[in-house]
């Protein structure tokens, strides 16, 4: 994964399975690979941060919890 990739949780709860997030930062360390998602606006929680993209919580999460998605393929 790289900054700017659009991702979704691999094991999302059913009501959030369609949520797409944007990778804001990536990091590798001795414990594995990590991503930080574009953070949601604290003044507008649960609102898209850009069209079709939800905001994250601003913390490091294991990269293996996400899969890269292509929005162009979503409409097909």
pLDDT of 72: 60
Q: What's the whole-number mean pLDDT along residues 3-15?
A: 94
Residue 24 lies in a domain: yes
pTM: 0.86
Instruction: Indicate the pairing of strand 6-9 with strand 21-29.
Output: antiparallel
Residue 76 lies in a domain: no
pLDDT band at 76 (very low <50, low <70, confident <90, very high): very low
Domain of residue 19, residue span: 6-70
Residue 75 lies in a domain: no
Chain centroid to Cα 28, Å, comes to: 17
Considering only residues 17 and 71, tell me which one the structure prediction assigns the higher pLDDT: 17
pLDDT tens, position by position, 20-58: 999 999 999 999 999 999 999 888 888 899 999 999 988
Cβ contacts of 46 within 8 Å, gap of 6 or more: 40, 54
Structural domains in the chain (count): 1
């Amino acid at each position: 994964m790289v900054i700017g990739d659009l991702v979704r949780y691999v094991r999302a709860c059913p009501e959030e399975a369609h949520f797409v997030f944007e990778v804001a930062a990536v990091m590798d360390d001795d414990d594995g690979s990590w991503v930080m998602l574009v953070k949601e606006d604290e003044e507008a929680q649960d609102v898209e941060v850009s069209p079709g993209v939800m905001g994250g919580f601003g913390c490091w999460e294991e990269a293996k919890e996400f899969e890269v998605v292509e929005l162009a393929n979503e409409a097909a």
